[in-house]
């Protein structure tokens, strides 16, 4: 067998070995030398590890068993230090001498560290390896201020990760715009504004003169005389190919190790692939071209007759800290190009296509990159667009367009750039392995297993390949169409990353739409207010029209106005106000509601604010996702069967719980005796008064799917009733999906789990404290006299 040695256990080199083994598993005895103590891992996922989205173990591309299964001798934590071309030997820093017949150099590149005073201080690092990432995570636990030098992709991802870990971060960039290699000025400015909204701070057009400190970094000084304090400096100003071992060996080296189309160096038995290689004057840094190089080399070294590597047209589709962008080909106009541009500053969308001779030569998209693959496919195929209008080229492909794109792709077209997975590999795996879901495709081919940006395309290939047998219901669904993340995953990420606005959540968690949809906007607004009641300011624009107008919209477009009447009680003065308002605004219906209140129905939209102002009464929340009412009978004060003052307790309960938002509407009830005149056993929370106290029930529903309450406990005092009611509501607030009533939530969670939680005094104490904290932050939004600001908000809704 031939001895094949690979220097470098990184993505490009090991991908080459994968392709070699796939073509010929018998010819070579393979040894891989890696200077890190890990198996092959996905370096581009280090940002996700830093941001807490995944773990180091989860970014392994090939685990230890893969090397054993393929009979590969892996040397980890060992560095190749010398190549003897004449003897065909590689010598390591542990004095091992490895003979080779064929040698592949895949030493990658290293983070460039600015040669300024202080760059050797503790706390100054690059961002390239697992060790770098671990050092950054440790620093975030012990220090508060970080500076990232470099406003490119890697720098922005590092900054986002450090922010997620609680650090204050400044990004220092030499140029006036971010990501200048991928974005033009217009798109870069949109990116900068979005990142600033996430808490990222920028020092633009700054050149570092010195990093100062004693043993550890304390700050940076710039050439303009300004400075910034920090405890950590992350260098993300570029990479340098690791070519020292090749240069000393006498191979031809420019910026990288010079190779031909078959990745052969100036020595015919030595090859180079990846970031250390230079092909036609270009050293590539993105994954897709490096994998293409690996395939070309594998084809050549196993005796194939392929045409070799022909260079790559580069594209970038990614979400920098959650900001959706795509770029490919040319970025800037010149005298030979014409530009088609759409710039929607209000929606923060930007699309630019550069055209030469009716062919697309460049694409820049920001805010919505869903058309990136379609446009880039047209660019690569040099499709004639003369028959298109500007709008039709720029418009979304839609379902049919996506289907056409999938059908037009060749088997060699790369779908997953992170892992170099082609359409052909995916289709073959679907048909051969019987795959039916995205998760199965990801597990089998690794497509979508890294950054996940190609998931929609993988699902489209699934649908196209399976045809009528494709079952969309089998695909994992998230909390809305904008994300595949579930409610629990979203809430966990909000807590972990301490995100402070729905927009930041959508950006950081890669929601498909930066503005969200009608489902996730109100849900995120609720989750943020529930998690951070003292810090988060309610986003009125994300609420449903009923909540904005403080009334339920009726089938003819008019509204109901239903004031609060605790326990169904009112006063003569309030009755007069209701009557006068009904006359003044020609209200067609005045009705006693099922919740024992008086409602005005058929109020014109433009009259709603005026009606509330004239009434000067608190809203009854008949439209809200909160406690609507507490139904009660008169109890012992009047009824001969009453055992307790159910009316008084109902009023106290309503006053204690009202105003606080919940995942869905809630109804409670208090009945004065077991005869249950208030029908409390089908309420979200029910109280039955008995001689020795109060029987408590939870999780009922009297709607289309009737559910009888579960019994909780019998308590002796009204104070215990209110305490457990608060705890129950808060437990529901913290754990139910937005839009989920208590009955299905109890069914899903388990009545026994809910009961066990509420019968634990420590749990109850914590829940009540959280509820009271939230309750205190709810202003008297529905106060007896509407403020001018409140009226302006409602009139804005009317005009809208």
- Binding residue numbers for siroheme: 677
DSSP 789: H
- Tokens representing residue 538 in the block: 């309610």
Q: Retrieve residue 477's tokens.
A: 């669904």
Q: Which helix (H) or strand (E) holds 614?
A: helix 608-615
Instruction: Mark the binding-site residues, compressed into ranges.
Output: 633, 639, 673, 677
Q: How far, in Å, CA of 413 to CA of 415, rounded?
A: 6
Q: Which residue has the tokens 């060749």?
A: 410
Contact call for residues 667 and 631 (beta carbons, < 8 A): yes
CA separation for the pair 4, 31 (Å, rounded): 6
The β-bridge partners of 111 are 239
Burial class (CB in 10 A: 0-12, 13-18, 19+), 617: buried
Q: Are 296 and 309 a contacting pair, CB within 8 Å? A: yes
Q: Phi and psi at residue 258, in whole multiples of 5°?
A: -70, 130
- How far apart CA 133 and CA 298 sit, in angstroms, is 32
Q: Report residue 683 as tokens.
A: 């309420």
**Region label for 550, one of left (φ > 0), alpha (ψ between -120 and 50) or beta (otherwise):** left
Helix (H) / strand (E) containing 792: helix 788-799
* Rounded-to-integer distance, Cα 760 and Cα 724, Å: 11
Structure tokens at 98: 């490895």
Closest CA to 331 of 173, 153, 180, 152: 180
Please state, in angstroms and rounded to a whole number, the distance separating the CA atoms of residues 57 and 55: 5
Distance CA 695, CA 476 (A): 41
* Euclidean distance between CA atoms 439 and 441, whole angstroms: 5
Query: What is the tally of helices (H) and strands (E) in the chain?
Result: 26, 35
CA 621/CA 667 separation, integer angstroms: 11
C-alpha to C-alpha distances, 763 to 128, 421, 734, nearest whole angstrom: 44, 49, 13
Strand-pairing partners, residue 644, are none
Structure tokens at 781: 């939004």
Do residues 111 and 124 make contact, with C-beta atoms less than 8 angstroms apart? no
Do the beta carbons of residue 707 and residue 658 sit within 8 Å? no
Task: With beta carbons less than 8 A apart as the criterion, state whether 129 and 102 touch.
Answer: no
- Torsion sign (Cα): 232, 238, 242, 247: negative
Annotated binding site for [4Fe-4S] cluster: 633, 639, 673, 677
Bridge-partner residues for 743, per DSSP? Answer: none
Please give the angle made by the CA atoms of 51, 52 and 53, to the nearest 5 degrees. Answer: 95
Q: Check: CB of residue 126 under 8 Å from CB of residue 110.
A: yes
Sort strands 277-279 and 257-259 into parallel, antiparallel or unpaired.
parallel
Q: Quick check: 642 and 650 in contact, CB under 8 A?
A: no
Kindly write down the DSSP assignment for every residue of 717-753, as one continuous string.
SHHHHHHHHHHHHHHHHHHSPTT--HHHHHHHH-HHH
Judge contact between 190 and 350, C-beta under 8 A: yes
Alpha-helix runs per DSSP H in 94-214: 130-142, 153-164, 185-197
Q: Is 708 exposed, middle or buried (0-12, 13-18, 19+ CB in 10 A)?
A: middle
How long, in residues, is the chain? 800
Q: Alpha-carbon distance 580 to 540, whole Å?
A: 30
């Amino acid at each position: 067998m031939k001895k094949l040695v690979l220097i470098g256990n990184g993505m490009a080199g090991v991908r080459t070995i994968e392709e070699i083994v796939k073509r010929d598993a018998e010819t070579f005895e393979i040894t891989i030398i890696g200077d890190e103590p890990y198996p092959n891992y996905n370096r581009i996922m280090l940002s996700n590890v830093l941001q807490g989205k995944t773990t180091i173990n989860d970014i392994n591309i090939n685990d230890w068993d893969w090397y054993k299964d393929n009979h590969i001798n892996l040397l980890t934590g060992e560095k190749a230090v010398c190549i003897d071309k004449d003897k065909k030997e590689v010598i390591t820093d542990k004095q091992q001498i490895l003979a080779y017949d064929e040698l592949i150099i895949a030493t990658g590149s290293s983070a460039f560290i600015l040669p300024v005073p202080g760059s050797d201080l503790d706390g100054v690092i690059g961002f390239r390896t697992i060790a770098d990432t671990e050092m950054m995570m440790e620093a975030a636990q012990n220090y508060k201020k970080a500076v990232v030098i470099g406003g490119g992709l890697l720098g922005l991802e590092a900054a986002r990760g450090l922010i997620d870990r609680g650090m204050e971060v400044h990004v220092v960039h030499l140029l006036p715009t971010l990501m200048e290699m991928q974005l033009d000025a217009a798109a870069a400015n949109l990116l900068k504004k979005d990142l600033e909204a996430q808490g990222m701070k920028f020092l633009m057009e700054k050149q570092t003169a010195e990093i100062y400190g004693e043993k550890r970094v304390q700050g940076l000084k710039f050439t303009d005389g300004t400075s910034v304090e920090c405890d950590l400096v992350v260098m993300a100003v570029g990479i340098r190919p690791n070519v020292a071992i090749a240069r000393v060996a006498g191979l031809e080296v420019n910026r990288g190790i010079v190779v031909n189309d078959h990745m052969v160096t100036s020595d015919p038995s030595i090859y180079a692939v990846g970031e250390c290689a230079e092909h036609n004057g270009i050293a590539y840094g993105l994954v897709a071209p490096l994998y293409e190089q690996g395939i070309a080399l594998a084809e050549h070294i196993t005796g194939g007759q392929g045409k070799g590597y022909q260079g790559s047209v580069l594209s970038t589709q990614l979400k920098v800290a959650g900001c959706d962008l795509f770029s490919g080909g040319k970025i800037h106009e010149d005298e030979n190009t014409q530009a088609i541009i759409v710039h929607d500053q209000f929606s923060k969308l930007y699309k630019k296509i550069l055209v030469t001779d009716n062919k697309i030569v460049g694409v820049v998209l920001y805010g919505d990159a869903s058309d990136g693959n379609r446009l880039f496919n047209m660019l690569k195929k040099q499709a004639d667009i003369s028959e298109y209008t500007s709008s039709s080229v720029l418009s979304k492909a839609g379902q049919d367009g996506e289907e056409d794109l999938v059908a037009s792709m060749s088997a060699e077209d790369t779908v997953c750039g992170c892992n170099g997975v082609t359409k052909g590999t995916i289709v073959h795996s679907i048909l051969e392995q019987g795959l039916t879901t995205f998760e199965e495709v990801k597990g089998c081919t690794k497509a979508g297993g890294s950054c996940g940006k190609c998931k929609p395309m993988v699902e489209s290939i699934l649908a196209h390949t399976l045809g009528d047998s494709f079952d969309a219901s089998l695909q994992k669904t998230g909390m809305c169409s904008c994300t595949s993340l579930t409610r629990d995953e979203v809430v966990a990420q909000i807590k972990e990353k301490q995100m402070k606005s729905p927009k930041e959540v959508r950006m950081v968690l890669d929601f498909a739409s930066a503005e969200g949809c009608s489902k996730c906007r109100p849900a995120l607004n609720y989750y943020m207010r529930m998690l951070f009641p003292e810090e988060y300011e309610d986003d009125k624009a994300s609420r449903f029209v009923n909540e904005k107008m403080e009334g339920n919209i009726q089938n003819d477009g008019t509204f109901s106005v239903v004031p609060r009447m605790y326990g169904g009680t009112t006063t003569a003065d309030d009755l007069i106000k209701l009557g006068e308002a009904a006359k003044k605004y020609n209200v067609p219906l005045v009705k006693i509601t099922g919740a024992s209140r008086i409602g005005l129905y058929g109020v014109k939209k433009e009259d709603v604010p005026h009606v509330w102002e004239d009434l000067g009464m608190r809203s009854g929340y008949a439209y809200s996702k909160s406690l609507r009412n507490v139904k009660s009978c008169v109890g012992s004060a009047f009824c001969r069967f009453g055992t307790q003052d159910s009316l008084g307790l109902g009023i106290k309960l309503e006053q204690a719980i009202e105003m606080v938002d919940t995942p869905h509407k809630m109804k409670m009830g208090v009945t004065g005796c077991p005869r249950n005149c208030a029908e409390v056993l089908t309420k979200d929370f029910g109280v039955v008064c008995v001689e020795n106290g109060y029987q408590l029930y939870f999780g009922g529903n009297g709607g289309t799917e009737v559910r009888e309450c579960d019994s909780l406990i019998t308590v002796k005092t009204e104070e215990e009733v209110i305490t457990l009611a608060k705890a129950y509501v808060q437990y529901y607030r913290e754990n139910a999906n937005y839009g989920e009533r208590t009955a299905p939530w109890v069914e899903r969670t388990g009545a026994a789990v809910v009961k066990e939680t509420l019968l634990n005094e420590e749990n109850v104490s914590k829940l009540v404290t959280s509820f009271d904290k939230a309750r205190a932050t709810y202003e008297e939004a529905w106060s007896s006299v509407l403020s001018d600001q409140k009226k302006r908000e409602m009139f804005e809704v009317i005009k809208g």
